[in-house]
Chains A and B, each alone.
Chain A
Amino acid sequence: MLGFAAIAQNPLPPDRAFRFSARMVDARTVEARFSIADGYYLYRDKIHFAAEPAAAGLSVPDLPKGAVKDDPFFGHVETYRGAVVVNLALKDAKPGQQVVIAAESQGCADIGICYPPTVQRVTVPIPEGSIVPTPANEAPKKSWF
């Protein structure tokens, strides 16, 4: 576990403090994960996802609830520590296609540093020969991108 003093001397760059990964868990579902280093936290309302190409039809569910913090200026804010995992749907991805998941996040370190929003990209291969089910009747959440 990294100590407070160690972070103060050498804070991690945002893509290491909030490491993003993504993997296909079935033919149309991507498990998106932020692994958050000790001493760092992400803001729930600053996390946004997009798929490239957009035609892959990304659908983002509500993000899991975070720890509630009462901010004197913004009021009720939610933060994540440790890890946050979201299952994203790719409704229109084609078998064999390479889809890039772009994840934007913004967070801070306990030592009193906040990072600007950072975008991390991971390419996920849609399995060859996979049968993509008919998209469910769900309203996709509007992407920030």
Chain B
Amino acid sequence: MSIRFRKLSRRRRTLIFGFAGGLALAAGAGLALWDRHPRDAHDLLALSLPDTHGSQQPLRQWQGKVLVVNFWATWCGPCREEMPEFVRAQRDFGREGLQVVGIAIDQPDKVTSFAKELELNYPALIATYETMDLTKPLGDRLLGLPFTVILDRKGRVVHTQLGPMKPAQLRTIIRNLL
């Protein structure tokens, strides 16, 4: 009887450990999937950053629109080269519900100067390197620039991209969401 009990006990222990291990694995896998396929941009939309005039601009004010959030900096050549396409997209699709928002990891005076030169037609918000941390779970593991996040009208992440977006690709994504 006692031998049977010990055997059962051992089986139970194996089962318990196995179950716990399975749970841990499942949780880990779930987290990994969450990292690769974020369903919403809660942290991103919770941001409130100053614009070039120093006024706080919460990103939630644009919820309900198709939102293109572009992280950039004046010291990032590829970012500057890509930005005229965002200006064109804002001009062409703004009335249909597109809102481009630039988040510059930069100094306000440099952002102001470049925004003027480019005739930027969308908000340029100012952020620090620490702000970039929220892009890691969205796929920017190296915190590189430019990094672009496209959200649908419900605030769900539809596309993220490290490196410049191709104009045709940007327009196709936007058209499909409007």
Binding site for B on A (CB under 8 A): 8, 11, 13-14, 43, 46, 71-74, 106, 108-109, 111-117
Taking CB atoms, residues of chain B closer than 8 Å to A108 are: 76-78
Q: How far, in angstroms, from A21 to B75 measured CA to CA in the complex?
A: 25
Report Cα–Cα, A110/B162, bound state, in Å.
13
Contact status A116-B143, CB under 8 Å:
yes
Smallest beta-carbon distance B170→chain A, Å: 14
**Could you give 17 example pairs across A and B, Cβ below 8 Å?**
A43-B75, A46-B75, A71-B77, A73-B80, A109-B144, A112-B163, A112-B164, A113-B142, A113-B163, A114-B77, A114-B144, A115-B145, A116-B105, A116-B129, A116-B132, A116-B143, A117-B129
Q: How far is the CB of A36 from chain B (nearest CB, A)?
A: 16
Using Cβ atoms and an 8 Å threshold, which residues of chain A touch B160? none
Range of interface residues on B (Cβ < 8 Å): 20 to 34
Judged by a CB distance under 8 angstroms, whether B114 is at the interface is yes
Contacts A73-B80, A73-B114, A73-B117 given: A114-B75 contact, CB under 8 Å?
Answer: yes
B74 — which chain A residues lie within 8 A by C-beta?
Answer: 73-74
Q: Once the chains bind, are B114 and A114 in contact (CB under 8 Å)?
A: no
| B79 at interface, CB cutoff 8 A | yes
Query: Which of B76, B79, B81, B132 is packed against the most chain A CB atoms within 10 Å?
Result: B76
Does A115 lie within 8 Å of B80, measured CB to CB? no
| Nearest CB in chain B: distance from A118 CB, A | 10
Known: A73-B114, A115-B142. A8 touches B163 (CB 8 A): yes
Interface flags, B56-96, vs A, CB<8A=1, else 0: 00000000000000000111111111100000000000000
Chain A residues, Cβ within 8 Å of B82: 112
Cβ–Cβ < 8 Å partners of B80 in chain A: 72-73
Alpha-carbon gap, A96 to B138, bound state (A):
47
Q: Which residues of B contact A113 (CB under 8 A)?
A: 78, 142, 144-146, 162-163
Chain A nearest CB from B116 CB (Å) reads: 12
Tell me the complex Cα distance, A43–B75, Å: 10
A112 touches B78 (CB 8 A): yes
- The complex places the Cα of A109 from the Cα of B145 at a distance, in Å, of 10
B145: A residues at CB distance < 8 A: 113-116
> Closest Cβ of chain A: how far from B86's Cβ, in Å?
15
Q: Which 10 A-B pairs have the closest CB atoms?
A: A112-B78, A114-B76, A113-B144, A112-B163, A112-B164, A114-B145, A113-B163, A116-B129, A115-B144, A13-B142
